[in-house]
Structure 1
Amino acid sequence: MKVVLVDNENSALISLNKLLSASNDVEVIGAFTQIGPAIEQILQNQPETVFMDIEMSEMSGLAAATVIRSISPRTEIIFVTAHRQYATDAFNLEAFDYLLKPVKKERLSKTLLRLRKRGYLEPAKPRQPYIYLRCMGRMLVHVTGHEPRALKWRTTKVKELFAYLLHSRNQIISKDKLIELLWPDVDEQKGTSNLQTSIYRIRRLIEDQGLEQWIIIRYLEFGYILETKQLIIDAEELDVKFRQLMPISPNHLTEHQQLFEAYNGDYMGEDQYFWAETERLRLRTMWLQHAHNLAAYYLEQGRELEALTVYHRILRLDPTLEEGHVALMRIYDRLNDRNSVEQQYALMTKILKREADVEPSAETMEWYQNWQQKR
């Protein structure tokens, strides 16, 4: 079933999209914070169902329902609102259902069940097992039906060997290169023994965890190769999504916000392997640039609070990023929050001194001095 979501709250769109995505027979083809672009999508794609807020900015959801009825008569309308008083008006428009925010999983399940009985949805089919491997931040494994978990490694060298083979997945890595990387100070015989023992332990761990369907380590041509089969890796998925992003606009804001929030930490960030530094820096730079663009968009739209949230998230990743502190100070200035400007400057100065033993840049200090003189 194709579904369109309409809500002026981006957080509500993300939450509802997440709940609906858990159903195999539901496809969210669009999520909009404005009714105009949503109606264009509905006219073009004729979705089976629209989940829509009632209190929208340019047109009420009740008025929009009349328009949707005229351009897509077979589309069912489900209102999603924080207010009970619209229920009578909604059902007078023959709305299929009326959900109160925050939408609960159990309540939404009842709505989907009714849609299935009406023939809009096929009965949900069991999902094929999958494995999702996190490399951003802490390394975790998520298998269908289980909570994400960390694997228990016998030694740090075994873990690093797995991480490097995963980093170089589907490529043959010579024994000599692996020994030089992990045991540079031992002789060839000892290095070979360490490598073989570590490979054995990785294979045993893969089998014990039931992961051999997705991860295989083979010995080929004087080296090892880690092969992945339908293994979802968050770093790889993140990279692809960044490259496929459409420009930031009301139509695509939800996917931009979701991608921004999907960054759980730096690539192989838990262990900071030196050989992963290039990829770590590339992905971080890509995410930071996207974050700055997202914050700039929010500021252009007069949505300072959302921009503040973006920059606070950036500084959690890297507290020493001076431009992030400056951006927060400028936003607080726009909000006439002088105390927060002063507190942010003091915090930035303290962090830069403690972590890098430097002062704020001359440009930043000049901006702050000029700001103080405006009093």
Structure 2
Amino acid sequence: MESIKVMLVDDEQLALIQLRKMLQEMTGFEIVGAYLDPVEAIEMASVLRPDVVFLDIHLPEIFGLRAAEMLNDTCPDVEIVFITAYDEHAVEAFTLNALDYVLKPLQRSRLAITVERLKISIESKRKDRKTSDPVRIHCLQTLQIEFPGQQPETMKWRTSKAQELFTFMFHHRGQLVRKSELFELLWSDFDVPKAMTHLYTTIYQVRQDLKRIGVNIVIRSLSIKDGYVLDAAGICIDTVEWERELRRLSPVSDTNVAEHQRVMDMYRGDYLQDAGYLWSENERQRLRTLWLQHVQLLGDYYVRQGRMTEALAVYHRMQIQCPYYEESYFCLMKLYDELEDRVAVEEQYKRLTLVLSEALDTVPSPKTEVWYAKWKGLRPQLESGT
């Protein structure tokens, strides 16, 4: 079972330490935060996305039951377990849909019962999420949204600023994005008051567009940290799915080559390729490199197996997707040489030199040049029969 993420909130330091120690002695829990200040805990809940919050009812500044309401607003699926010294508060706790309560001083035997209830409840929720058909966001090539049973469609925004703000927030989903960072990205020429006005307006527009589209993606304000967090929990994302599928593959073989082919085909284009945002280049390059490495291994496998038609298709796909990637031309040159297609070898070399010259103002690598020179030198001898 996946670890259960736990947040602890209690204004007594010793109580926090004791509860953390008890939970750490039990299996299946990850303590993602422990807070004396309930306001900070509520703010951070939208970032940390805990599965359960152990919450003291008697807290300074915010009464525990009010804090629970605010936590439910921030994280609708979170489980609340109240910590109280008074059993009379248990009735009130359950009116707020709290899963359970534990009494101070904490007893391991009673906490163990709560833990079992938590595990059953959270596992049930996770199974429900897996069996329901989620909305899917496509980031490869073009940013699109796909609802169950429908074709992907491009997301429409009121302004280009709204589109880039959403895309930037989605790129950093689950992470704090400070207002100052958004100022610099979108309104660097404006003074702070004017940039702030534009930011608030654009955030409002994005939120309204998300409601209109009907997708459960929420942008939460974090006043303490002076920024925002985009919550896309429950949304399927094509890049995440593709990378997960890629990493679970075992080395290519006769038994799984079709699966490798399927994963190669899942990569529809580079990350946010059509938008071309400079801030997404690192992720674009990272994913592209993973794909190229995988495709290279698949192509090499086909060559070793003598499956030249499949190898040609793989290397040509590589070339179409990444026209400046020299290795695809080199692999095709060698493959066409094996197939004794001299015209095709020459064509690949000409394409490579032209692409590198026009786009990058460079020439083929020494490895390619040496191979080509040797190949050219051998051809006249082979054709004359000497």
Coarse TM-score class (shorter-chain normalised): 0.5 to 0.7
User: Which residue does the alignment assign to 1:215?
Assistant: 217
User: Which residue does the alignment assign to 2:333?
Assistant: 329
2:134 to 130, 149, 160: 130
Gaps in structure 1 of 5+ consecutive residues = 1-126
Query: Residue 303 of structure 2 aligns to which amino acid in structure 1?
Result: L
Q: Distance in 2 between matches of 1:220 and 1:357?
A: 47
How far is the alpha carbon of 1:323 from its aligned partner?
1.4
How far is the alpha carbon of 1:365 from its aligned partner?
1.9
How far is the alpha carbon of 1:328 from its aligned partner?
0.4
Query: Residue 136 of structure 1 aligns to which amino acid in structure 2?
Result: L
Q: Distance in 1 between matches of 2:353 and 2:338?
A: 21
Q: Distance in 2 between matches of 1:297 and 1:129?
A: 36
Query: Residue 163 of structure 2 aligns to which amino acid in structure 1?
Result: K
Q: Distance in 1 between matches of 2:303 and 2:315?
A: 12
1:230 to 225, 230, 234: 234
SS at match of 2:141: coil
Alpha-carbon deviations, 1:39-93, whole Å to 9, x = none? xxxxxxxxxxxxxxxxxxxxxxxxxxxxxxxxxxxxxxxxxxxxxxxxxxxxxxx
User: Which residue does the alignment assign to 2:361?
Assistant: 357
Structure with higher RCO (Cα < 8 A, 6+ apart): 1
SS at match of 2:255: coil
Matches for 1:160-309 after TM superposition, within 5 Å: 160-211=164-215, 214-221=216-223, 222-309=226-313
1:342 to 335, 341, 346: 346
SS at match of 2:203: helix
Q: Distance in 2 between matches of 1:243 and 1:323?
A: 23
How far is the alpha carbon of 1:157 from its aligned partner?
1.5
User: Which residue does the alignment assign to 1:76?
Assistant: none
Instruction: Give the TM-score normalised by structure 2.
Output: 0.62
Matches for 1:86-105 after TM superposition, within 5 Å: none
Matches for 1:314-325 after TM superposition, within 5 Å: 314-325=318-329
User: Which residue does the alignment assign to 2:43?
Assistant: none
User: Which residue does the alignment assign to 1:80?
Assistant: none
Q: Distance in 2 between matches of 1:176 and 1:342?
A: 54
Q: Distance in 2 between matches of 1:363 and 1:129?
A: 50
Q: Which has the larger radius of gyration?
A: 2
Alpha-carbon deviations, 1:179-200, whole Å to 9, x = none? 1222111111111111111111
Q: Distance in 1 between matches of 2:260 and 2:323?
A: 23
User: Which residue does the alignment assign to 1:313?
Assistant: 317
Query: Residue 327 of structure 1 aligns to which amino acid in structure 2?
Result: C
How far is the alpha carbon of 1:220 from its aligned partner?
1.7
How far is the alpha carbon of 1:316 from its aligned partner?
1.0
Q: Distance in 1 between matches of 2:237 and 2:319?
A: 25
Query: Residue 275 of structure 2 aligns to which amino acid in structure 1?
Result: D
Query: Residue 220 of structure 2 aligns to which amino acid in structure 1?
Result: R
Q: Distance in 2 between matches of 1:207 and 1:295?
A: 45
How far is the alpha carbon of 1:343 from its aligned partner?
1.1
Alpha-carbon deviations, 1:193-220, whole Å to 9, x = none? 1111111111111111111xx2111112
User: Which residue does the alignment assign to 1:151?
Assistant: 155
How far is the alpha carbon of 1:374 from its aligned partner?
2.0
Supply the RMSD in Å over aligned alpha carbons.
Answer: 1.4
How far is the alpha carbon of 1:281 from its aligned partner?
1.3
Alpha-carbon deviations, 1:164-188, whole Å to 9, x = none? 1101111221212211222111111
Q: Distance in 2 between matches of 1:262 and 1:137?
A: 11
SS at match of 1:314: helix
Query: Residue 364 of structure 2 aligns to which amino acid in structure 1?
Result: P
User: Which residue does the alignment assign to 1:65?
Assistant: none
Q: Percent identity?
A: 40
Q: Distance in 2 between matches of 1:177 and 1:358?
A: 36
SS at match of 1:319: coil
SS at match of 2:153: coil
SS at match of 1:225: strand
Q: Distance in 1 between matches of 2:290 and 2:374?
A: 32
Matched, 1:374 2:361: no
SS at match of 1:327: helix
Count of residue correspondences: 247
Q: Distance in 2 between matches of 1:139 and 1:272?
A: 11
How far is the alpha carbon of 1:286 from its aligned partner?
0.8
Q: Distance in 2 between matches of 1:217 and 1:359?
A: 47
